[in-house]
Amino acid sequence: MKSFNRVFATLILALVLTPLLLLPGAGAKIIDAEHGQLRPSAEQRFASRLATRFFSGYHYHRENLSHVTSERIFDQYLRVLDPNREYFLASDIRDFERYRDHLEEALRTSELEPAFEIFNRYVRRVGERAEHARSLLNETFDFTVDESYQFDRSEADWAADQAELDEIWRKRVKNDWLRLLLAEREAEDIVETLTNRYNNLERRVRNFKSEDVFQFFMNAYARTIEPHSAYMSPRSAENFEISMRLSLEGIGALLQQESDYTTIREIVPGGPADLDGRLKEGDRIVGVGQGEEGIVDVVGWRLDDVVDLIRGPRETTVNLEVLPAETGLNGPPQIIDIVRNEVRLENQAATGEMIELPIGDEVRRIGVIQVPVFYVDFQGRARNEPNYRSSTRDVRRIINELREEGMDGLVLDLRGNGGGALVEATTMTGLFIDEGPVVQVRDSSGRVSIEADREPGMAWDGPLAVLVNRRSASASEILAAAIQDYGRGVVLGEPTFGKGTVQNLINLDEISRGENARLGQLKLTMAQFYRIHGGSTQSKGVVPDILLPSAGDPAEYGESALENAMPWTSIDPTEFTPVADLSPLLPLAEQRHLARREQHEDLVSLIEDLAEWEAVSQRDSVSLLESVRREEMAAGEERRRSRLGLTHTPGDVDSDEGEPEHDEAPDVLLNESARILADLIDLDRDQHLLAHRGNLVTSAVD
């Protein structure tokens, strides 16, 4: 953006006028030789001054910076290090209180010693906990005692003393043992596995380097501004660049660290994990194995080490031992073998199908187009190649094919679509409107630009529904919002994620004169999206016209649930002409949908499953009674088999395939979306609100 380039150049000029040091490399582990503790490097001190200058001067939402207090940085740093409050004692926190009011100033003046002192104490406490955990493995646990383990202590008080923390860890180790016992592991094997786990926990923390500590502290600062800005250490920046270069290879899953567990944050559409279908968002990875080799326990490992273990050459197999999200820490674990491969464009590409719905004496033919991501061959587009690939072109082609099959209405399925190319969100919206603005973009200087469809005509002017969920974000929200604002179609599903911001990457190494300087990179929020009616997609997301069954409170998921998320705001609307007002039809269609919720077997079963999942997800503790856990395991397995349509009891296999027989589970929400659109068509017989009458364009070019 021009405004960013302008301020960026200004900052570089200011830095050139300031003497810069040729700094040593940061790859080494900077240690105080006398005390054997980590300490900050000169390079990190310089990077802290540079990064805070960027954050304070050029972040899009500078108003948030007034709330960046030392107290918030202090609390966030403790959450980064000990989110489950199972290492530090209350006496540690009281000792650290002397830094609570001084961390913001320390960042500006590069006085990083407080952050390193806190971290060095953390390393010591982790070592003590690991030693205590190993000692408990010599004891005998009684699983007939009615007690529970609180696995989520994020809101609990810090342990008052060593005895209280010992009791917390006794239950943690007992739960670790019980989980392996429920997996039919022998006592000797359990002791070996858990000994290695606690050794790895201690080793992982002791292997942290100075640059890791600096990254933790800088991100504690960045997250007090808003959740999408961040600092990446040189190692993290290198891994990020590798992931970008190799983003089309691997198993196709995004991971995140939650306490001591590596958790699946997102399944990449079209990747091996997505095509396999067994790995789900929220699953916890507890072990990783290669091919025919055994499983390595990875509970307590640092995230990048787990990623390194999962990575590997294409067409090789990685075995993941996971605790399914639906059963939580109750287990049982499952072994999922996935062949590493590339995420082919064909696997990410839009796909279409037809759903036929009997309605009285008629049959409604509802077309469905699933768009996993907004993709485009930028190089081919820039060269104006006649057949360059894009999601808009593929959707246009599928529309033409479905029309030839007699399509009455179209459902555009954007569930799980986390975004992609902004130009594709604009051009794909243009397939359903004649001409006009699609989204407004406001940069950090306040300048507003408009992305618009400038091509006359439409590829589809008939009844339209857009299906979204909580993982529909960014470009998906832009398209859904535009369709809703124009009254061009109905939006169905869950409120979307609500990410209405744009980030830029800033390489700090490019600013330093030091040839070997490794300062890392910043990810800085620089712009925000606004709907054509002026409201933002930030925080609130896009609220569907008709809500479909879902679990949990929408306010607890997505952008609005992230700490220090930027608030919803608005700007002036831009000029546009709505196509129709669908409000007369929506209440009647919603009534029919609500009636089916109570009568239709698939919907009733789905709602029951969602309620059970929600009950499990709201728990912060598990029973340590073996009998209770086995009952919960059996119930969870039965629900899983029922949902997947498995026809054999556990242990039965098909003689030919060697796997349990099952039918593909129906996509209940997609089928219900098709019914709702069919209802709207029926209700609209005389009003003609669902069709946009204009010049139909069916060519295969943009």
Pairwise pLDDT comparison (264 vs 640), residue with the higher score = 264
Identify the top-confidence range among 118-127, 660-669, 683-692.
118-127
Worst-scoring range by mean pLDDT, 261-270, 346-355, 521-530, 646-655? 646-655
HSE (side-chain half, CA atoms, 13 Å) at 353: 9
> Which of 206, 204, 128, 208 is CA-nearest to residue 169?
128
Token pair in block for residue 48: 């802290």
DSSP 8-state assignment for residue 2 = H
Instruction: Using the predicted structure, report yes or no on whether residue 329 has a pLDDT greater than 60.
Output: yes
Collapsing DSSP to helix, strand or coil, 659 comes out as coil
Residue ranges of the alpha helices (H) in 183-278?
Answer: 187-206, 210-223, 234-245, 272-276
SS3 49: helix
Give dist(CA 357, CA 354) in Å, integer: 10
Rounded average pLDDT over 624-643: 80
If you average pLDDT over residues 67-80, what whole number do you get? 87
Q: Which residue in 294, 325, 328, 329 sits closest to 309, CA to CA?
A: 294
Tens-place pLDDT, residues 568-609: 999 999 999 999 999 999 999 999 999 999 998 888 888 888
Q: Which tokens go with 463?
A: 């009844």
Q: Are 144 and 626 in contact (CB under 8 A)?
A: yes
Q: Over 70: is that where the pLDDT of 1 sits? A: no
63 pLDDT band (50/70/90 cuts)? low
654 pLDDT tier (thresholds 50, 70, 90) = very low
Q: What is the pLDDT of residue 387?
A: 83
pLDDT value at residue 270: 75
- List the domain boundaries for the chain: 2-226, 249-342, 347-597+671-683, 601-664
The average pLDDT across 602-617 equals 81
Is cis: bond before 332, omega within 30 of 0? yes
Predicted confidence band at 369 (pLDDT cuts at 50, 70, 90)? very high
Can you tell me the mean pLDDT for 428-445? 94
pLDDT at residue number 673:
95
Q: Which residues contact 286 (CB under 8 A, 6 or more apart)?
A: 261, 297, 298, 299, 321, 322, 323, 333
How much is the pLDDT for 602? 87
Q: Does domain 249-342 correspond to CATH entry 2.40.40.20?
A: no
Residue 478: pLDDT band by 50, 70, 90 thresholds? very high
pLDDT of residue 292: 76
Query: Range with the lowest mean pLDDT among 5-9, 149-153, 324-328, 639-643?
Result: 5-9
Q: Which two tokens stand for residue 422?
A: 């902004």
CA distances from 37 to 113, 208, 212, 275 (A): 11, 11, 14, 46
Give the 3-state DSSP-derived string for 353-417, with helices as H, strands as E and coil as C: EEEEEEECCEEEEEEEEECCCECECHHHHHCCCCCCCEHHHHHHHHHHHHHHCCCCEEEEECCCC
pLDDT at 419 (0 to 100): 85
Residue 341 pLDDT exceeds 70: yes
94-103, 257-266, 269-278, 633-642: which is most confident: 94-103
* Residue 602: Cβ-neighbour burial (10 angstroms; 0-12, 13-18, 19+): middle
pLDDT given at position 701: 39
**Which amino acid appears at position 104 of this protein?**
E
Mean pLDDT of the chain: 83
Does pLDDT of 424 surpass 80? yes
Is it the case that residue 643 has pLDDT exceeding 60?
Answer: no
Q: Residue 515 pLDDT > 90, yes or no? A: no
Mean pLDDT lowest among 514-518, 552-556, 698-702:
698-702
Which residues have C-beta within 8 Å of that of residue 226, sequence separation ≥ 6? 59, 61, 64, 501, 525, 564, 565, 566
Residue 623 pLDDT level (bands cut at 50, 70, 90): very high
Percentage helix, strand, coil for the chain under 3-state DSSP, each rounded to 5: 40, 20, 40
Share of the chain above pLDDT 90, in %: 44
CA-CA-CA-CA dihedral for 690, 693, 695, 700, to nearest 10: 10
Closest CA to 524 of 508, 503, 538: 503
* Residue 199: predicted pLDDT: 92
C-alpha of 198 from chain center:
28
Q: Judge whether residue 11 has pLDDT over 60.
A: no
What pLDDT is recorded for position 658? Answer: 38
Query: Which of residues 359 and 89 earns the better pLDDT score?
Result: 89
Which pLDDT value is given to residue 306? 86
Q: Is pLDDT at 30 greater than 80 in this prediction?
A: no
The pLDDT of 258-267, averaged and rounded, is 79
Residue 657's pLDDT is what?
36
pLDDT band at 251; cut points 50, 70, 90: confident
At 593 the pLDDT is 94
Higher-pLDDT residue of 395 and 640 is 395
User: Residue 487 and residue 684: Cα distance in Å, rounded?
Assistant: 14
State the average pLDDT over residues 130-158. 94
pLDDT for residue 34 is more than 60: no
Report strand pairing: 464-468 vs 490-493. parallel
Residues 6 or more apart whose Cβ sits within 8 Å of residue 351: 369, 370, 398
Distance CA 49, CA 109 (A): 7
Cα–Cα dist 523/55, whole Å:
10
Average pLDDT for residues 393-418, to the nearest whole number?
95
Do 433 and 459 meet the contact criterion of CB atoms below 8 Å apart? no
**Between 35 and 585, where is the model more confident?**
585
As a whole number of angstroms, the distance between CA 280 and CA 307 comes to: 17
Q: Which residue has the tokens 């360059």?
A: 388
Question: pLDDT category, 564, cuts 50, 70, 90?
Answer: confident
Q: Which sequence positions are flagged as catalytic?
A: 474, 485, 499
Q: How many CB atoms lie within 10 A of CB 102?
A: 15
Q: What is the pLDDT, as a whole number, of residue 9?
A: 32
440-477, pLDDT tens digit by residue? 999 888 899 999 999 999 999 999 999 999 989 999 99
Name the CATH code of domain 347-597+671-683 (choices 2.60.40.3880, 3.40.50.720, 3.90.226.10, 3.40.50.10470): 3.90.226.10
- Judged against a pLDDT cut of 50, whether residue 22 lies above it is answered with no
Q: What is the pLDDT of residue 477?
A: 96
Burial track 87-99 (b if 16+ CB lie within 10 A, e otherwise): bbbeebbeebeeb
pLDDT at 693: 55
Q: What is the share, in percent, of the chain residues with pLDDT greater than 70?
A: 84
- Any idea what DSSP says for residue 570? B
Longest dimension (CA), the chain: 87
